[in-house]
Homo-oligomer: A and B are copies of this chain.
Amino acid sequence: MILEDLGLRIKQLRAREGLSQESLALKIGMDRSYLASIEVGGRNVSLLNLKKLADGLNVSLSELFEDL
């Protein structure tokens, strides 16, 4: 399901960037516990937050969703 798939993708990209949840959340101005709930597929994330996440992970939105 897309929420879980996106959560896993964000977790993988975050690890690739060597960022903790804390540091990514701080970088993009998002609450850490909200980011944690996104990573476990628990949030129907909005486009503006998706864009913040993509920017914070140094990928385009298209790359964020590649093969999902």
| Interface 1/0 per residue, A24-52 and B, CB below 8 Å | 00000000000000000000111110110
Minimum Cβ distance to chain B for residue A32 (Å):
20
Q: Please list the residues of chain A having a beta carbon within 8 angstroms of any beta carbon in chain B.
A: 2-3, 6, 44-48, 50-51, 60-68
State A50–B4 Cα separation when bound (angstroms).
15
State A67–B9 Cα separation when bound (angstroms).
19
Minimum Cβ distance to chain B for residue A62 (Å):
4
In the complex formed, the residue of B with least CB distance to A46 is B44
User: What are 12 A-B pairs with beta-carbon distances under 8 A?
Assistant: A2-B48, A2-B51, A3-B47, A44-B46, A45-B47, A46-B46, A46-B47, A60-B67, A60-B68, A62-B63, A62-B65, A65-B65
